[in-house]
Chain A
């Protein structure tokens, strides 16, 4: 019998208990690699498996938890050797019984980007290697996972390299989150969509403490639920666990009504726990959780349930935006991030991401932008592209459950996009158009919606995951079409029960006072049942319509959100001083960002951009720099002033782009935190300051490969490279980078900085300059580049 049959035929499935706890008793030292015992002490491992099998485990975990490339690196053994030995032990132990041996896979032990340095792709490779080595196991278990992204890489590796059943469990703390901040709902909605056979929780807490975690899980999944808790809570100092096998088994039975199907024990448990579990569960019946599918998208820390209108921000899109196009062409990811952050602050729930532009590699850009966005915002993303390859790459890398924008009624689209949606467990926007274009009438659009839903359902994509877009036409061109859109939307909502999407802003194209038309059309659509308006949340009138509607339609209970946004209880917005009261130097000195931008706009009406930069901005910055050196102001204030200057530069840049001119650059500088180093706040502060002095900074980020610095500097013809390192262990990377620069790109100046550097050491590793702080790095730039 395999796992799938067991799930069908048995009331409950019993797993094993702890391996580590048993190994310590046999004499394993703390800090040792337990997986090597598969080779050196196979008799220990076989004995432990046998004890669990005779205690009643239907499934036991082979001793492969940490058998990955990274953890075995210094052991002299390969993953294949260790995993094969472990599966051999397991097979020997199971001989003559029905027990199933699981390939047991734990976290790699390195955090993925952006928290750590491991890339998603590397994580995938590491897991794929283990899965292939463990091909003789009966099933694959991923357990004790705390990072959703890592678990997603693991599940994809298993699905693409094996056809064995998969069980996944993550580890949650008392705050209902994993160590990396992943929620139970995010796990259920992300991993549940990837085609695993059972999902659950293990480790960290005892059965009693895990009850709320299991409850939340049952509300978010239809899959069989796995529960493998610790023997209560450990003492922080002795490490001893708190409950007996009898207490454990008793507490576990209390979780049966929540839908628990597969049970076992984690740290501190032993065969006695499993035999007691067997006894306590005997005669009890499995109670499947009552689960009703609902529409949702998520990131690890933010689950957005679409049980009321949710705003999709439309600003990450180059269509009709010169500045955005320029950002895409020049790889200016920071500008794209600024567009995201503005929408987050304005109140968007979800962000649409469209980076399609002729002349760029859309697939590569989509992956880069998703990674960058997910490192700075928790909002779920809607991946917007017409190219299935771009969608595939984006869905793969996305951390959470995404929305795909979009599929339509055309055969080609249905056949290419829907399988991706299914594979990655996403939701999808279905556009009501097909080979014949956009139908005129509501009836015809409804028919296409119906077709999309039925095709999705045929592939196993529930209609809760299909969001229908009845398409907004421009009122000035097709006035009679407006109500057709709204009537189709109403029918979709009522008759198909799907969520509805609508790009709102198109409606007013070609009309004056577009905001009036947009916000009123939005309200009309909301009353017809629009749940996912795609709008510009930075326009107050739009968010006002949404918030007012939610209040009036009784979604915003007690008007809480409305009052928070507009009521007197809200923190008083700093009253923007009139530009007349404040001049640019004052705004910069006092960190008044909004004012700085406004004054710059005003000044541009009468003065040439370069005059503003050279006669106002730079002198003001120099003054704050001097104040900082004298100790009159401190670093946060210097950064704030720089931030104001940056917003002024941004205004000038947009102005120049509109007039067709190119912003003048004072020169390019490459910045990088060296290989192995992940502390990059210092480098980022330097970047902000340099940019505000008018330099173009090419920021390579942290943990940057030495050769990449050289290649970038050479390709871009850069005259100054800035390197930062915070740890003594990463200084050799800095030295190596400088050495490579000297060999391959002589003439380029290098400045270095970071907590562990000294002027002497900078000289020793052949740097041209040592920058004590961010201000000094600007002085150096001035010296080198002018």
Chain B
């Protein structure tokens, strides 16, 4: 028997869609490798509504517990969806296949596969990944005790990396492409009080250097045109994300940076029967609360479609 709805993902968007699907008694499958989404690595989230302060991992546990509370209505596979296609046997159905080689069919697909960390794409970055190049600041910041480090990126993730590093690192260079910090003003004010943080603006990283571990990073000052080198043993890269839209590539319409195009009123994609919500879409602002709300809108609209065919 096909499912009514397949939900792809385990972040706030996917779980919100799942909870609403369960409450509508739709026969639902949710496929997620893990729960919590990208903020699982956040030490302290202050803007998840209803919680003054919550860590990423506790939020992840709460999301998982919430959706698992509907086990009579929602099947959960710990797996990754690799493709979404139209069913070969019935064109009214969609077919998903997973990394573990499983497949399922459903009348509706809701893609909430989120986004992944963006890389700088410069020399040395891949070779020294894990060898001083860090993408999970909260995980690895304690290993840089007494060392000089660079944080690349001036948004919220960059600001948080500085906060993660501050108790440990001797000196933190915050390297920013723009002329000002971005991210929440409250956090900006906080890190401006840290005496060990030095801000470098208008700087474009060019190369990460080191033999077996990072020893320095080269950047270009775009105002003077000069190339400069920072002697650092860690480079923490926090420059945003790329959408996890590979599973629907060529199947639904995406924009020039691979985000799934959605109608903002309904969260419908270019394919009738396929919805998307959260960071994988071209919706404005990548926020947990928005992802959750957009996914609810998607689910409710999908539910109407399931019952009215429109």
- Specify whether A and B are partners: no
List chain A positions with a Cβ less than 8 A from chain B. Answer: none
